[in-house]
Amino acid sequence: MLLGSSSSMSVSLSDRVKLVSSLSSSAPFFNSLNGIRFFKRNVVCGVVAKASKEAKNQSILEIAFEPFEEVKKELLVIPTAPHASLARQTYHDQCEAALNAQINVEYNVSYVYHAMYAYFDRDNVALKGLAKFFKESSMEERMHAEMMMEYQNKRGGRVQLHSMLMPFSEFDHAEKGDALYAMELALSLERLNNEKLLNLHSLANENNDVQFVDFVESEFLVGQVEDIKKISEYVAQLRRMGKGHGVWHFDQMLLNGGVAA
């Protein structure tokens, strides 16, 4: 009877032993007791597949993550002092000090913009569009400083605010007029701030602080370039119109959100 026939069959224990022992041969074998012919091709493939799977599982186990072993070195460096930061990791002292210095830069620029807002909001100046522009610019720089303070705390640093110089309160200029002079000063501040941010970015690179690099790039550098471009166009427009009636139209454009009066 061939294997696969619909007739019933039974194989004794001793016959099973003989069948297993005969697997070492590559040819088909015949059981004379029951008249059953066996082919070992499927059996051999099954054994090879099982062995391959076991080898793969073994290789996975060899590279498995062992948290309780690898975490031991981290447990040793977690500070126990009450005033030490628990979140600080790979954050260099130079980066901490440089970020505090940049916070001071942002606050100083905000302070100057706020003084410009106060000047153009005077009753005898009354350029409401310029007042609005510089007020928003002041709030933006203050927001940048607060973002940096939040990041400083997130990395386990300590925020140290520095003193600020009193800004100018008068922005009128005999030749340029107050609008152009103030806008040129704003452009100079934005260019200076961009230079400071690039220095901060370079310092983060030197200390291999990838997270700090990403913070400076994603939150500040792109917007800084856009602000420089926008204020550069404002300076060019104000230079064209001089100190006359065109300044009022420019002011109305700022007041209406970029729409000419």
Q: What residue numbers does the annotated binding site cover?
A: 106, 141, 144, 190, 224
Task: Please give the structure tokens belonging to residue 225.
Answer: 């370039």
Q: Which position has the token pair 């709030």?
A: 139
- The one-letter amino acid at 148: M
Give every CB contact of residue 71 below 8 A, 6+ residues apart in sequence: none
Residue carrying the six token digits 């500040």: 220
- Residues 6 or more apart whose CB falls under 8 angstroms from that of 181 comprise 171, 172, 173
d(CA 85, CA 238): 50
Query: Residue 240 corresponds to which tokens in the numbers above?
Result: 């064209």
Binding site feature residues for Fe cation: 106, 141, 144, 190, 224
Give the Cβ contact number of residue 154 at 10 Å.
13
Tell which residue, 133, 131, 134, has the closest CA to residue 110: 134
Distance CA 207, CA 96 (A): 11
Tallying the residues shown for the chain, one arrives at 261
